[in-house]
Amino acid sequence: MICAGGASGKQSTGRNSLTLVSADEVRRAELAANLVRVRARIDAARSAAGRTDEVTLVAVTKTYPASDVGLLADLGVSDVGENKDQEAAPKAAEIGRRVRWHFVGQLQRNKAKSVAAYADVVQSVDSVRLAAALDRAADGHGRVIEVLLQVSLDGDPARGGALPGSADPDRGLAPAAEAVVGASALRLAGLMAVAPLGVEPDRAFARLAEIAAAFHVDHPTATVLSAGMSDDLENAVSHGATHVRIGSALLGKRHYLG
C-alpha cells in the first residue's frame, strides 16, 4: 500500500502496526535497484574490454519529473541528460546545480539561448552555424559550455550529425570542430554518436572508434566519447565510450502523452 504518510512517510496503527511507505520512498528504491544493475553492466563491459578507466553514466530523464532527477542526485548520479529544451529548462530551474546538465537532443539554433542558460555540456552540435549560435548564447550568459560534436554514422540528415571526411563548410566534421575551437565561450570536449537504425551496434561503434582515433590526431585533448544507450551500452564501452546515455534501463519504461 502506498501513501503520502506525513513528514516521515510512515504511520503506525497501534498494536497491529502497519507501515505505509511514501511514493517517493518506493520510487527511490526502484531507482536505486536499477542504478545498481546499470552500474554492474558498465563494470562488466569495462572488464570484458580490459579497461581500467571510468565510464560516466549520463541519466537521460526525458519524460520523467524533476523529482526523479532529485532522487538520482541523492543516489550519487552526477550527470543528467535531456533531449528537449521545454522539458529541460524547468527541471534545471528546480534542481539547479546539484547535477551537471547535458543537452543530448537535436538542438535548433533558435533554442541556443535558452539551452545555454543551464546546459553544462551540449552533446549535439553538428554544424558551424549551430556552434556560432551556441557560442553567442553562452557568451551572453557569461558561461563556458563543453561541446561534443555529434557524428553522423550513416549520413542521414534527418538524424543529425556532422559528416566525417566531408568538405561541406557547415556540416563537415572538421569545419565544425574548428568553429568550436575558435569560439570564446565553447570548449571542444569530444564526440557523440547514436547507432543508426538497422545497423548492428558493434559495427556502428567500431566505425565511431575509427573516426575518434583520426579526430584525436588534430584534437588530442577532446577525449570524451559519448555512445551507447540502454540496449547497446556494452557494445559502446567495448569500443571506447567514456560516457553512456541511459534512460529506460535506469528510469523504467517511458509513457508518452498524445
* pLDDT (0 to 100) of residue 211: 98
| Cα dihedral across residues 28, 35, 222, 53: positive or negative | positive
* pLDDT (0 to 100) of residue 4: 37
For residues 249 and 34, is the Cβ–Cβ distance under 8 A?
Answer: yes
What is the chain's mean pLDDT, rounded? Answer: 93
Separation between Cα atoms, residue 104 and residue 17, nearest integer Å: 47
The percentage of the chain sitting over the pLDDT mark of 70, rounded to a whole number, equals 91
Read off the pLDDT of residues 21-73 as tens digits, 9 standing for 90 and up: 799 999 999 999 999 999 999 999 999 999 999 999 999 999 999 999 999 99
Read off the pLDDT of residues 87-141 as tens digits, 9 standing for 90 and up: 999 999 999 999 999 999 999 999 999 999 999 999 999 999 999 999 999 999 9
| Cα dihedral across residues 209, 186, 89, 3: positive or negative | positive
| Cα dihedral across residues 192, 196, 199, 200: positive or negative | positive
For residues 24 and 71, is the Cβ–Cβ distance under 8 A?
Answer: yes
Give the pTM.
0.90
Read off the pLDDT of residues 152-169 as tens digits, 9 standing for 90 and up: 999 887 778 999 999 899
CATH tag, 23-251: 3.20.20.10
Separation between Cα atoms, residue 216 and residue 138, nearest integer Å: 25
Domain ranges of the chain: 23-251
